[in-house]
Structure 1
Amino acid sequence: MSSVAVGILSGVLMGIVFGFALEKSRVFEPGMIVGQMQLRNWIMLKVFLSAVATGAVVLAFLHGFGFIKLQPKAALYAADIVGGLILGAGIALAGACPGTTLAQIGVGYRDAIFTLLGGLAGAVAFSYAQPWLAKSLIGTGPKLIFSELAGIPYWQGALALAAVIVVILALIERARPWRDDLGADVDGDVAEKSPQPRKRLAPAE
């Protein structure tokens, strides 16, 4: 099996696992997402850190045994900061992120359709602006790999990262158990009086 086929297969399997965890954790709920951005709900962070740790272990295995070859991108600090702030503001306003919009549409949140359209419009706008951005100050930077800076193989660095994340997850869970953050309606809204729920699409007869 070629490295491309292995990469595609592993990506599909990881996507299935991530999607299953996304639905079971109810992280796609707007209350979960907005609550995380307001630092009053930590389930979203736990799920995403779990995904990072899982991805690090899988990449450590695939790269360590030579199934794939990594092609790291340059560290664009200015672009990461500016883009992160814009993305964070959009997530807080929309109550959705790129990874949860389709899940929200699937369960019937009508406003998620507009979030998806806005995301697509933003992607198109970025494609036109990208040539200019690549030549600007925010488009240059060195390629930094922590494992290379530390002088260790990539698989060791990836496993070390996963171990650190597991410890962080354990500490967060001890301080804020996930059951306390679910809310009465399992939607992340832990306030005494829940706001009016969003309208969902009526099921097809």
Structure 2
Amino acid sequence: MSVLNAILIGLATGIVFGFVLEKSRVFEPGVIVGQMQLKNFLMLKVFLSAVITGLIVLAVMNGMFGVKLSLKPLLYKADMIGGLILGIGIALAGACPGTTLAQIGAGYRDAIFTLVGGIAGAITYGYFDVPIKAFFNEKGEKIGFDQLLGLPFWATAIGLAVILAGVLWAVERWQSWTVETGTDYDGLMGGTVQRDKTAAHLRKI
């Protein structure tokens, strides 16, 4: 694949991702903080939908076209500590790396500081990459559910997708997304009204 094609595919993917992110309202600080406080589950539902879709696509690619998968090594200490730091940052900022640019585009000015902080963190990590890896001192192990179950990847992926779909259905039955998003679930509300509603939601939380 040429560099130009890779850039065009990346741009197209980014546009689709941004559109879906905005329409789902997952980028809004109130939704993100509410998920962290277990007061709404819109973010969980969207992520589960993405994982289910990804599992089905990967199952088709692997089962029908023989596409090989490259697993990342499981690093217990790094994953747990890094996940905890990331979770705390998301809860405090009301944003995650994937939603910061969407928030800036929607007019959330404080998201600019989140973006600057993220860039600063990435640069800092780059400088301290060697001592950080030495601190954790983990080689990691590449293992997947298919290996644990002794099944082909495509079958494991389909089975896991079915289980997650059941979880998604149960969570939606328990608390509907239309209740969580309110009357503005069509995504057409104006920027000022949107920010006022999100601020009011945050005050309630």
Shared fold, TM over 0.5: yes
Partner of 2:127: 128
List gaps (5 residues or longer) in structure 1. Answer: 197-205
- Please tell me the residue identity of whatever aligns with 1:164: I
CA separation of 1:120 and 1:81: change in aligned 2, threshold 3 A: same
C-alpha contact (below 8 Å) 1:37/1:92 kept by paired residues: yes
Partner of 1:35: 34
Q: Distance in 2 between matches of 1:73 and 1:182?
A: 35
Provide, for residues 24-82 of structure 1, a one-character-per-residue CA deviation record: whole Å limited to 9, x for no partner: 11111111001101110100110011111111111222233346432111111111111
Q: Distance in 1 between matches of 2:145 and 2:5?
A: 25
Q: Secondary structure, in 3 states, of the residue corresponding to 1:136?
A: helix
Q: Distance in 1 between matches of 2:34 and 2:195?
A: 7
C-alpha contact (below 8 Å) 2:27/2:95 kept by paired residues: yes
TM-score by length of 1: 0.81
Partner of 2:23: 24
C-alpha contact (below 8 Å) 1:33/1:44 kept by paired residues: yes
TM-score by length of 2: 0.81
Partner of 1:107: 106
Is 2:155 the counterpart of 1:156? yes
CA separation of 1:120 and 1:43: change in aligned 2, threshold 3 A: same
Q: Distance in 2 between matches of 1:32 and 1:94?
A: 12
CA separation of 1:109 and 1:134: change in aligned 2, threshold 3 A: same
- What's the C-alpha RMSD, in Å, of the aligned pairs? 3.1
Partner of 1:200: none
C-alpha contact (below 8 Å) 2:93/2:114 kept by paired residues: yes
- Please tell me the residue identity of whatever aligns with 1:118: G
List gaps (5 residues or longer) in structure 2. Answer: 186-193
- Please tell me the residue identity of whatever aligns with 2:125: F
- Please tell me the residue identity of whatever aligns with 2:42: I
Is 2:74 the counterpart of 1:75? yes
Q: Distance in 1 between matches of 2:195 and 2:6?
A: 34
Is 2:176 the counterpart of 1:177? yes
Q: Distance in 2 between matches of 1:153 and 1:39?
A: 35
Q: Which moved more, 1:108-117 or 1:141-150?
A: 141-150
Q: Secondary structure, in 3 states, of the residue corresponding to 1:24?
A: helix
Structure with greater helix percent: 2
Q: Distance in 1 between matches of 2:122 and 2:165?
A: 33
Equivalent positions of 1:137-152 (< 5 A) are: 137=136, 139-152=138-151
Partner of 1:202: none
Aligned residues: 193
